[in-house]
Chain A
Amino acid sequence: MKIVGVTACPTGIAHTYMAAEQLEKAAKAAGHQIKVETQGSMGIENELSAADVKGADVVIFAVDIEIEKKERFEGKKVIKVGVTEAIKNPNGVLARASG
């Protein structure tokens, strides 16, 4: 499965990156392809291109705030969870995305 994701927490200091790392780690372990964009205090990093989004089977938002450039994902299947959930239970989040 091809997954793209966006993570963003209120301070954008740490949890954004922890969630991204957890999702990447779990997805790779499960044999999925994944690319996660972080919207943190350093701005948007690892930004998802239109092609990335187009080619994805599912989009995961692990966010506690409104994200930027949300229009890129219109029409896609989106799973939305909180940042903490992605950190604590990335496999559960992936399961929901696959379902």
Chain B
Amino acid sequence: MPTTLKFACDLRHGLHARPASLIAQIAEKSKSRVLVRKTGADEADARSVLSVIALDIQPGNPWEISIEGADEGAVARQLESLVHSHFGETADADGEFVEDAPARVPAALKRMGVEVVSGTPASRGAGRGKLVFVRARALTERVPDRSTESVEAEQARLKRALEAAGEDIETRMRRASGTAADLLAAHRIMLDDSQLLALIEQKIAGGMTAERAVAHAAEAFGEKLRAAASPLIRERAADVRDLAVQILSAMGVEFAEDAPTLTEGSILVSESMTPGQLLKVDATKIAGLVLGEVGLTSHVIILARSMGVPAIVGVPNSFVRSGKAGPALLDGTFGFVAADPSAAVIRLYDFDVRARAERKDFLASFGLTSGRTRDGVPFEIGANASSAADVERAIAGGADGIGLFRTEFLYLGRAHAPTEDELVRVFSAVVKHAAGKPVIFRTFDIGADKPAPFLHLAGEENPFLGARGARLYKKHATLLRTQLRSIVRAAGAIPGAKVRVMAPMITNAEEMKWFREQVRAVEKNLANGGFRAEPLRVGMMLETPAAAANVRAFVEHADFFSLGTNDLSQYWFASDRGNAAVAPIVDEMDASFLELIRKAVSDAKSAGKWIGMCGEMASSAEYLPVLVALGLDEISIAGATGADVKYRLSRVDSGAVRGALDEALREGASVRERFASMRSGVGLAPIADELIRLDCEATNKEEAIREMVGLLSSAGRTDLPWELEEAVWAREETYSTGLGFGFAVPHCRSRAVEAVSIAVGRLKKEVEWGSNDGVPVRHVLLLAVPEDVDAKAHLQVLARLARKLVHEEFRGAVEKCGTVDGLRELLKGELGL
């Protein structure tokens, strides 16, 4: 008798790809036969994500999992706890793109009665341009017409393409985080989908070419998914298509045809597009993308985001096929396109354009100087990079240096090791783009999850605990020396270069001593040949608990340290971060882990050594205050957002966070909770010059609110202006905030704002606000209060302002005030701020 677990589906969007892939991960590893069944209807092999989601299990539907086999009991327990944990689904806190983001329309547009076509938000921002329809051809029409070789040859072709596509997804997974990483993981599992593969194999056996078989199988599966009731499951058709495109691309099928020639700013509309197609279009003329059958993690959407092109997906076919050209406005934040927008709609969105430009300037200003906390403590913000282009972007984005240059990407997936000259070329470009800022090259970190075929590494029972990183260096000393030579040569060739080198996966002092000797030997060797260069600073990663807990043992051999928290945390918690069943055990905010880091930092500092952090932990905005509190010299982050992080850093008081961390650790309190209540905006004045504008252009209430929210966004008081604006409107809808006498005080509490902030605007043209006395509004004071701040402060400001307003002297003084600082001082004094 199989064990049967019965549930009622309580997932908001049904049993979609992510939960299905988590079930599949468990089923894949078990020795039992695991079936998922929609009660009273179909059943599917749990290892086939696509078949499971095609069951179309909707919220409220009863469903079952049955398990039969050797490890039935253990598997049942795992699955049960997975389902009861709601598959780890949480509310999406930071506004990332998620597949179930509701398509919405901003309140301002609703009031204006604008008709829109909705889709799923996919890439933020808004764009305006002419609609250009691009016809998408069926996959089956795109595959080349060639005659079939032997079934074996076609199968081999398929296998190679599947491997290449799998590696590509895995590489992207390693660089992604959060929801995107989960969705890529779902893609990776779908690629192994037993049902899909069986269908492809069957078609090959029936005499089709591998390309044709993939295209036909994908379309057949797509049809099945498109028939589902849930839009989320229908969207998986896009994933299948995207996967098929990746497999076919790996087979050399060219997808870049059908690229239109654009003559003016355009919004491209298509059922689906490929990255190649998008890259062929003149990027300066793309105002946005409106796609039908494309998933949020597809290459084309990721590309659109990196190009800053607003995009929405999942729009109805009726729109995609309508072919009705003409001007349109696309909002990739809310997820809609409005055809033929009125002048009023266009004006409203022009306020965003201004706010975005001003915000960019404001944030960029933080990138021009090195990182400092609010109380002036230096804290370098470095960046992680894997290519010269990454370095260029990171430095332009305001990084203080490259805290981790991963060299292994030059080795992975290659049949032969790169030559010294090739490495010198790449490293020289890296050093050149670093523009005199320090670069830490990490020598190749190969093994475990990052195999290099030419090394012919033996398969290991437990690769993460096996020969990887520096542990391979003695055996492959020539490979290491070649790399070190190229780093020394690149460093010496560029005047003013600040190049350092560090070793991965060091566990004991002997390894580090040996590594340092190799660097010195290489330098000596080059010097003998007449190559003169400064000796490199030689450091090491701290990613094994043995090394991190005993930094003192290494200070003799290492000039600096960098904490690799990805590996360090999984070794510390003995949990594979890639295994959904145990990943939640890894908690970087756990006291034991923080104590480990704190000790490593303190040991390094007392030996006078520099210590940074380059793991994912360093890239999380949530952790920044804790990282400052730990006393690190540097963090090296993913992406080119150095200026942004420096801006957030400028809000952190190092003394306060250090006190909070010490106290929490001493008392055994939750560090996460302690820091959650410390907002970065603490200490910012509610009224500041950059929040006051005396010549506002708004011509109606909608524009005035958008202009005020824009001020808050430009000054870095909110990262989610659209959300703040919605909160203001929600409040506005209950009762007009026009107080009379020509004053309006729109206000809200929202998590979207960093600190109690008042944006003050004097309008060039008075606008109607629905005030009690019918007087149009000339002065707008928009008050935004963080959700976790005591409401009383917020209400007191409003009450005080309300009382002041009935006094003619106050109103007269505000009216007469002609300068920004004058108005700032007046309001500060009168409102007691």
Chain A residues with CB under 8 Å of chain B are 10-11, 13-18, 20-22, 25, 38, 40-42, 84, 87-88
Task: Answer yes or no: B681 CB below 8 A from chain A CBs.
Answer: no
Query: Complex formed: what's the CA distance from A40 to B735 in Å?
Result: 15
Q: Is the CB of A40 within 8 A of B799?
A: yes
The answer to whether B803 and A20 touch across the interface, beta carbons within 8 angstroms, is: yes
Kindly list chain A residues whose C-beta atoms are within 8 Å of the C-beta of B791.
41
With A11-B735, A84-B772 known as contacts, the answer to whether A18 contacts B803 (CB < 8 A) is: yes
| Residue B798, interface by CB 8 Å | yes
State the majority secondary structure of interface residues on B. Answer: helix
**Cβ-based interface call for B456 (8 A):** no
Residue of A nearest to B739 (CB): A14
Contact B802 A21, beta carbon cutoff 8 Å: yes
Give per-residue flags for B696-712: 1 if the beta carbon is below 8 A from chain A beta carbons, else 0: 00000000000000000
Interface centre among A14, A22, A40 (most CB of B within 10 A): A14
Which 3 pairs across A and B sit closest by C-beta, in order of nearness?
A14-B802, A21-B803, A17-B802
Kindly state whether residue B807 has any CB partner on chain A within 8 Å: yes
Find out whether the CB atom of B803 lies under 8 angstroms from the CB atom of A17. Answer: yes
Query: In the complex, what residues of B have CB within 8 A of residue A16's CB?
Result: 799, 802
User: Can you list 11 A-B contacts (CB < 8 A)?
Assistant: A13-B737, A13-B747, A14-B798, A14-B799, A14-B801, A17-B798, A17-B800, A18-B739, A18-B805, A42-B799, A88-B772
By the criterion CB–CB under 8 Å, are B745 and A88 in contact? no
- CA of A16 to CA of B796 in the docked complex: distance in angstroms? 12
Whole-angstrom CA separation of A98 from B795 in the bound complex: 33
Known: A14-B798, A18-B806. 8 other contacts (CB 8 A): A13-B798, A17-B798, A17-B803, A21-B802, A22-B806, A41-B795, A87-B740, A88-B773
- The CA-CA distance from A88 to B739 in the complex, in Å, is 11
Residues in chain B within 8 A of chain A (CB atoms): 734-735, 737, 739-740, 745, 747, 772-773, 791-792, 795-796, 798-803, 805-807
Determine the distance from Cα of A39 to Cα of B58 in the docked complex, in whole angstroms: 48
CB–CB A14/B806 < 8 A: no
- Min CB–CB distance B395 → chain A (angstroms): 48
B716 shortest CB reach to chain A, Å = 27
Q: Contacts A18-B805, A25-B807 known; A13 to B795 CB distance under 8 Å?
A: yes
Inter-chain CA distance A42–B790, complex, in Å, is 11
Chain A hits for B773, CB < 8 A: 84, 87-88
Known: A42-B792, A42-B796, A87-B740. A11 touches B803 (CB 8 A): no
Residue of B nearest to A83 (CB): B772
- A58–B775 alpha-carbon span in the complex (Å): 32
Taken together as a complex, chains A and B put the C-alpha atoms of A18 and B798 apart, in Å, by 10
Complex: how many Å from CA A88 to CA B805?
A: 12
How far apart sit A16 and B795, CA to CA, in the bound complex (Å)?
A: 12
A84 to chain B: closest CB distance in Å? Answer: 5
Question: A78 to nearest B CB, angstroms?
Answer: 23
Report A71 CB to chain B, min CB distance, Å: 26
Most chain A beta-carbon contacts within 10 A, residue among B795, B796, B800, B803 = B803
Chain B residue numbers with a CB within 8 Å of A84 are 772-773
With the chains together, A57 CA to B247 CA distance in Å?
89
Say yes or no: A15 contacts B806, CB within 8 Å. Answer: no
Chain B residue with the shortest CB-CB distance to A45: B799
Nearest B residue to A38 by beta-carbon distance? B799
The minimal Cβ–Cβ distance linking A7 to chain B, given in whole angstroms, is 11
Please give the distance in Å from B55's CB to the nearest CB on chain A: 49
Residue of A nearest to B799 (CB): A17
Bound together, the chains give a CA A21 to CA B740 distance in angstroms of 14
CB of A85 to closest CB in B, whole Å: 10
Complex CA gap A16/B805 in Å reads 13
Inter-chain CA distance A10–B299, complex, in Å, is: 52
Contact B734 A42 (CB under 8 A): no
- Give which listed residue, B795, B803, B806, contacts A42 with CB less than 8 A: B795
Least CB distance, B54 to chain A, in whole angstroms: 50
CB distance from B424 to the nearest CB of A (A): 67
Of all chain B residues, which has the CB nearest A14?
Answer: B802
Distance between B796 CB and nearest chain A CB, rounded to angstroms: 7
Given A13-B795, A42-B796, CB of A18 within 8 Å of CB of B802 = yes
CA distance A9 to B178 in the complex (A): 46
Task: State in angstroms the CA–CA spacing of A72 and B124 once bound together.
Answer: 57
Give A38 Cβ to nearest chain B Cβ, in Å.
Answer: 8
Given A11-B734, A18-B802, A21-B806 in contact, is the A87-B745 Cβ separation under 8 Å? no
Min CB–CB distance A14 → chain B (angstroms): 4
> Which residues on A sit within 8 Å (CB–CB) of B807?
21, 25
> In whole angstroms, what is the CA distance A42 to B799 when docked?
9
Instruction: Chain A residues near B798: list those with CB within 8 A.
Output: 13-14, 17
Chain A residues with Cβ under 8 A from B800's Cβ?
17
Query: What separation, in Å, do the CA atoms of A15 and B799 have in the docked complex?
Result: 8
Given contacts A17-B799, A18-B802, contact A87 B735 (CB under 8 A): no
Contact A10 B735, beta carbon cutoff 8 Å: yes
User: How long is the Cα–Cα vector from A21 to B803 in the complex, in angstroms?
Assistant: 5
* Distance in angstroms between the alpha carbons of A30 and B800 in the assembled complex: 23
State whether A15 and B772 are in contact (beta carbons under 8 Å apart), knowing that A25-B807, A87-B740 are contacts in the complex: yes
Q: Which residue of chain A lies nearest to B743 when distances are taken between CB atoms in the complex? A: A14
CB distance from B824 to the nearest CB of A (A): 22
Using Cβ atoms and an 8 Å threshold, which residues of chain A touch B737?
Answer: 13-14
Q: Which residue of B lies closest to A12 (CB)?
A: B795
Bound-state Cα–Cα, A2 to B403, Å = 74
Contacts of A41 in B (CB 8 A): 791, 795
CB distance from B394 to the nearest CB of A (A): 46
Distance to closest chain A CB from B734 (angstroms) = 7
Once the chains are docked, how many angstroms separate the CA of A25 from the CA of B802? Answer: 13
The docked-state distance in angstroms from the alpha carbon of A88 to that of B771 is: 12
- Give the residues in chain B near A38, CB-CB below 8 Å: 799
Could you tell me the distance between the alpha carbons of A87 and B774 in the complex, rounded to whole angstroms? Answer: 13
**Bound Cα distance from A41 to B737, whole angstroms:** 15
B832 → A minimal CB distance (Å): 14
In the bound complex, CA of A20 to CA of B803 (Å)? 8
Q: Which residues of B contact A22 (CB under 8 A)?
A: 806
Shortest Cβ distance from residue B428 to the other chain A in the assembled complex, whole angstroms: 63
Assembly CA distance A17 to B801 (angstroms): 9
